[in-house]
Amino acid sequence: MRISELSEQTDVPIATLKYYLREGLLMPGTATGATRADYGQRHVDRVRLIRALIDVGGLSVAGARGVIDALVDDPDPTLDVVGHVHSALPTSEATDDELARADAFVESLGWSTNPCNPGRAALGSALSAVEAAGLTIPDERLRRYAASAREIAEVDLDAALSSRGLAGVLHTVVVGTVMVDPVISALRRLAQEHVAHERLGAG
């Protein structure tokens, strides 16, 4: 297909596609003339992935290129995909104390995670915010949340591993990581009410 059709199929303006080509995010099409090239399904997939990284993941163009470069060079892309995406996602601000607290908790779970995982800073600062609002989460309660988070992560990984190709895996990890949070939060609110009805009688 021509670049105009790629633009229609992906809903991304031609000028933006040309920018992705110049920046190396999008691979060149097959030249069919001095100023013409032919694009295929893998270009459509790549553009959708770029949009997911930027629009959904909140990555900069440079961040998106970093993820794509790292993964395209990776002989076994599924192996590191989670880590690469995580380390490219925007990170919360956390103090050294908050990071240390998050690390100590994650270590007590025996989880193997990497210092670049933005979940460390996110966990440390989220726990501080909860405490600033006057609530304490005892470690035992946090441990139960962690057990549920782990089950959610198993579902996430099943979904990522069943995706088609590198672009599919990346897409599932990025969109799944960032955009499924609100789904889980909504299910949690519904479940709270159901559990309250179940345990305390009809409201």
> Under rule CB under 8 A, which residues in 150-179 are in contact with a copy of itself?
150-159, 171-172, 175-177, 179
Q: For residue 52, with 0-12 CB atoms within 10 Å meaning exposed, 13-18 middle and 19 or more buried, which class applies?
A: buried
115 binds a copy of itself (CB under 8 A): no
Nearer to a copy of itself, 18 or 197 (CB): 197
18 binds a copy of itself (CB under 8 A): no
**What x/- string results for residues 60 through 89 when contact with a copy of itself is judged by CB under 8 A?**
------------------xxxxxx--x---
Report in angstroms how near the CB of residue 13 gets to a copy of itself at its nearest: 18
Report in angstroms how near the CB of residue 193 gets to a copy of itself at its nearest: 5
b/e map 69-93, b = 16+ CB within 10 Å: ebbeeeeebbeebbebbbbbbebee
Nearer to a copy of itself, 65 or 86 (CB): 86
Of 1, 149, 166, 169, the one binding a copy of itself (CB under 8 A) is 149
118 binds a copy of itself (CB under 8 A): yes
Q: Which stretch binds a copy of itself (CB under 8 A): 1-9, 34-42, 47-55, 58-66?
A: 47-55
Q: For residue 6, with 0-12 CB atoms within 10 Å meaning exposed, 13-18 middle and 19 or more buried, which class applies?
A: buried
Rounded CA-CA distance 168/162 in Å is: 9
Rounded CA-CA distance 47/29 in Å is: 13
Report in angstroms how near the CB of residue 114 gets to a copy of itself at its nearest: 6
Number of Cβ atoms within 10 Å of the Cβ of 8: 12
Nearer to a copy of itself, 37 or 168 (CB): 168
Closest by CA to 170, choosing from 161, 182, 180, is 161
**What would the two tokens of residue 160 be?**
């990522």
Nearer to a copy of itself, 4 or 162 (CB): 162
48 binds a copy of itself (CB under 8 A): yes
H or E segment at 193? helix 181-200
Q: How many positions of this chain bind a copy of itself (CB under 8 A)?
A: 80
